[in-house]
A and B are shown apart, each in its own frame.
Chain A
Amino acid sequence: MNSIILRVGTQYLSGMLLLFSLYMLIRGHNEPGGGFIGGLIGSTGFVLYAIACGTDEARRALRVMPQNIAMAGLGIALLAGIAAAAFGDALFTGQWLFINPTEDSKGIPLSTVLVFDIGVYLVVFGSIIALVFAMEEEI
Chain B
Amino acid sequence: MTELPETILMIGVALVLGAVAMALLRLTLGPTVPDRVVALDKMTVSIVAFCGLATIWSGDAAFLDVALVLALVGFLATVALARFTERAVSRDAEREEDTQ
Asked whether the complex places CB atoms of A and B closer than 8 A, the reply is: yes
Interface set of A (CB-CB < 8 Å, partner B) = 1, 6, 13, 16-17, 20, 24, 31-33, 37, 41, 44, 47-48, 51, 139
Q: How far is the CB of A114 from chain B (nearest CB, A)?
A: 19
- Residues in chain B near residue A1, CB distance under 8 A: 83
Whether the Cβ atoms of A41 and B69 lie closer than 8 Å is yes
Identify the 7 closest CB pairs spanning chains A and B, nearest first: A32-B65, A32-B62, A44-B73, A44-B76, A48-B76, A1-B83, A51-B79
- Residues in chain B near residue A33, CB distance under 8 A: 65
Q: How far is the CB of B33 from chain A (nearest CB, A)?
A: 17
7 contacts between A and B (CB under 8 A): A6-B79, A24-B69, A31-B62, A32-B65, A33-B65, A47-B76, A51-B79
Whether the Cβ atoms of B83 and A51 lie closer than 8 Å is yes
- Residues in chain A near residue B73, CB distance under 8 A: 17, 41, 44
Whether the Cβ atoms of B72 and A17 lie closer than 8 Å is yes
| Residue ID in chain B nearest A47 by CB atoms | B76
Whether the Cβ atoms of A31 and B76 lie closer than 8 Å is no
- Per the bound structure, the CA–CA distance linking A20 and B35 in Å amounts to 31
Whether the Cβ atoms of B72 and A41 lie closer than 8 Å is yes
Choose one: A13, A16, A31, A139; the contact of B65 (CB below 8 Å): A31
- Per the bound structure, the CA–CA distance linking A1 and B83 in Å amounts to 8
Known: A17-B72, A32-B66. 5 other contacts (CB 8 A): A1-B83, A13-B72, A20-B68, A37-B69, A44-B76
| Residue ID in chain A nearest B61 by CB atoms | A31
Q: How far is the CB of A89 from chain B (nearest CB, A)?
A: 32
Whether the Cβ atoms of B72 and A16 lie closer than 8 Å is yes
Q: How far is the CB of B76 from chain A (nearest CB, A)?
A: 6
Q: Is B22 an interface position by the 8 A CB rule?
A: no
- Residues in chain A near residue B79, CB distance under 8 A: 6, 48, 51
Whether the Cβ atoms of B72 and A20 lie closer than 8 Å is yes
